[in-house]
Amino acid sequence: MALPVSRDAIIEAHQRIAPYIRRTPLMKLNDRAFGLECAVTFKLEYLQHAGSFKSRGAFNTLIKKATPQTAVTAASGGNHGAAVAFAARALGLPAKIFVPEISAPIKVATIRNFGAEAIVGGAIFDDAYAACLDYQKQSDALLVHPFDAIETLEGQGTIGKEWEEDGSLPDTVLIACGGGGLVGGIASWWHGRVKIVGVEPEGSRCLHAALEAGAPIPVDIKSVAADSLGARTVGRYAFEIAKHAVDHVALVDDAAIRSAQQILWRDFRIMSEPGGAAALAALLSGVYKPKQGERVGVLLCGANVDPATVVS
């Protein structure tokens, strides 16, 4: 079955955004890393502009759809808003970002530092998104969706393209999932060639719930990673992709996420936000059990965090 996002579209997206993004490195860990009988490689996407992978989808959307007169808007738990603000500034466009009250202050500050207007209101992402839609209808601004848009998925899929070009093909890749834009984009690139495992917090499991129910359904949100992995309902495109291209979704608890953050800092001096460490948490906690000799890729996708919350 043809997926909503093709490899050719991802190649075109990469050509489009390459002048504006960082080609983030791979880091192959030593043998028996974490005491596991598998080969582990990190993709260091937290080094991307604005501190997360989201800049890829933001640039792809704006370059494809914006005009010099376009005003830009987005709703975000923080990372997408920062990415849209960064991309809009780079392209000379004004941006207004709506964020929920659960957003980390450091993420709201980052949005404003990139020159965008940040409007804080509503308890969760869905509330901020509703306010964003109201503004978009009144202003005719270009809405940049954080996960449920083809342009976003194409942009995030460029991570898979880079990974394949820069290193050997992994057997399995662990990818954190919020609304599904990241896992959907990368799964579109590697469909049928690499096992894709989505990782969600136990208290924020919209893709897991959708796959169980057979359709996207709203879920309650309560997780330490809610500001980045806190979508109540998975995106419709990501759901269609996941049905065919994601092997399964692993669920991790908040304690495992916090532990992964601390291990990344202790052992590698990598400062990761909770959502950015979720994929590694699945491996370290044993929720995902690799086979002996398996080549496992772990995507570290975000670093917008107050360091004091990690090292304390």
Angle, vertex CA 127, rays to CA 123 and CA 133, nearest 5: 155
Radius of gyration of the chain (CA): 18
pLDDT of 253 = 98
> Max Cα separation, the chain?
56
pLDDT of 12 = 99
pLDDT of 106 = 87
Q: Domain spans of the chain?
A: 7-53+149-311, 54-143
pLDDT of 117 = 96
CATH classification code of 7-53+149-311: 3.40.50.1100
User: Is beta strand 172-176 parallel, antiparallel or unpaired with respect to 142-143?
Assistant: unpaired
Residue spans of the chain under pLDDT 70: none
pLDDT of 211 = 98
Task: Say yes or no: domain 54-143 is CATH 3.40.50.1100.
Answer: yes
What is the Cα 78 distance to its own chain's centre?
Answer: 11
Could you tell me how many residues make up the chain? 312
C-alpha to C-alpha distance for 233 and 174, rounded to whole angstroms: 20
Question: What is the edge-to-edge ordering of all strands in the sheet holding 72-75?
Answer: 117-120, 95-99, 72-75, 142-143
pLDDT of 104 = 85
For 211-233, b/e burial (b = at least 16 CB within 10 A) is: beeeebeebebebbbbbbbbbbb
pLDDT of 77 = 82
Is the Cα dihedral 266, 271, 277, 280 positive or negative?
negative
pLDDT of 303 = 93
C-alpha to C-alpha distance for 147 and 295, rounded to whole angstroms: 28
C-alpha to C-alpha distance for 305 and 147, rounded to whole angstroms: 21
Closest residue by Cα to residue 106 from 118, 91, 92, 122:
118
Same fold yes or no, 7-53+149-311 and 54-143? yes
For 121-147, b/e burial (b = at least 16 CB within 10 A) is: ebebbbbbbebbeebbeeeebbbbbbb
